[in-house]
Amino acid sequence: MIIHPFAYFRPDTIEEALGIYDQVMREGKQPVYYGGGSEILTRSRLNDGRFDAVIDLKHIPETRVHGQDRGKLRFGAGLRLTELADRDLWPFMTATADRIADHTTRGHITLGGNLMSTLPYKEALLPLLLADSSTAIIATKGGVENRTLKDLYDHQINLKPGEFLVSVTVDGNEAKAMAFRSYKMTRQDWIDYPLVTIAVAKRDDGSIRAAFSGWASYPFTSSRVNQILSETGKAPQDRAARATRSMPQAALDDIRGSREYREFVTEYTLTNILKELEDAQ
Ligand SMILES: Cc1cc2nc3c(=O)[nH]c(=O)nc-3n(C[C@H](O)[C@H](O)[C@H](O)COP(=O)(O)OP(=O)(O)OC[C@H]3O[C@@H](n4cnc5c(N)ncnc54)[C@H](O)[C@@H]3O)c2cc1C
């Protein structure tokens, strides 16, 4: 049950969406941008997060881009996770995003909603954190801006009030050159929030990078951990153990699992991933 009334807007252009946001604010009301609505509506039902108007971004053509253009893979924020999987433009993204929720829910969740989620997991972010060329296209009052994910991401994608995510891009050659593995470990069921999800990319220079969701209250990658994982002269188990001990913050200790259990699962999973990537050479 939705417990409070709110206005629904369905702009067809970026400018219209920004204008509606401004207008609602000027009226002293609280607008929110709306992707699939799964999180917004769940929070509303739980009386968590008051809003007076939702601005549905999915009908703006720029949020629906999905393809390769001038060497870049482009993913609109309004794409549903099932659409990403069906097209499979970037298999690393598919492998990671296709483990979020169940198929029916993935048919509602949008890429933008997952990347901008207020929940800690944001699993679709993991492959993007591992590519140097990941760029976010942002709608701002001054026009559409391209910003590198590295500049924008600090525990979350930091946008100013009123701005929204239009799409993300990654260089096609960089994406293609990565060998990857993406493993989601859950407490018990196949479909659940992650105990830890580990996405690992082996780049064409042989270096290895990993990104984690579920270990902390936000997804992250760590240059120290990546450096240890890339010491390919050393045994996978040794690297995985040292990487797990070198995480930039302690593992969460919550209902999904204790800190010690997360550490154990992470070390075990990293060991297997390293072996798999090296056996595949
Ligand atoms: C049953 C279920 C299981 C789930 N399991 C997982 C899981 O295993 N892993 C995981 O990572 N997540 C999981 N989630 C969380 C889910 O990924 C997020 O709640 C969801 O991604 C939100 O997507 P949405 O399109 O419905 O977003 P919405 O509910 O529409 O929006 C979510 C947030 O993002 C903002 N937003 C949306 N689009 C944009 C945009 N383009 N620009 C700026 N801000 C925007 C909204 O204002 C809101 O704050 C699960 C959710 C459900 C319901």
Give distance in angstroms: CA of 256 to centre of ligand 1: 20
pLDDT of 2 > 70? The answer is no
Average pLDDT of the segment spanning 261-267: 98
118 lines ligand 1 (CB under 6 A): yes
pLDDT of 43 > 90? The answer is no
Average pLDDT of the segment spanning 97-101: 96
> Ligand 1: which atom is nearest the Cα of residue 165?
42
What is the set of domains in the chain, with CATH numbers? 7-56 (3.30.43), 61-174 (3.30.465.10), 178-279 (3.30.390.50)
pLDDT digits (tens, 9 = 90+) for 237-250: 999 999 999 999 99
Residue nearest to atom 3 of ligand 1 (CA): 101
Q: What is the pLDDT of residue 46?
A: 77
pLDDT of 3 > 80? The answer is no
Cβ-based neighbours of 88, under 8 Å, separated by 6 or more: 94
pLDDT digits (tens, 9 = 90+) for 138-167: 999 999 999 999 999 999 999 999 999 999
33 lines ligand 1 (CB under 6 A): yes
Residue nearest to atom 47 of ligand 1 (CA): 33
Give distance in angstroms: CA of 114 to centre of ligand 1: 4
Give distance in angstroms: CA of 93 to centre of ligand 1: 16
Q: What is the pLDDT of residue 86?
A: 98
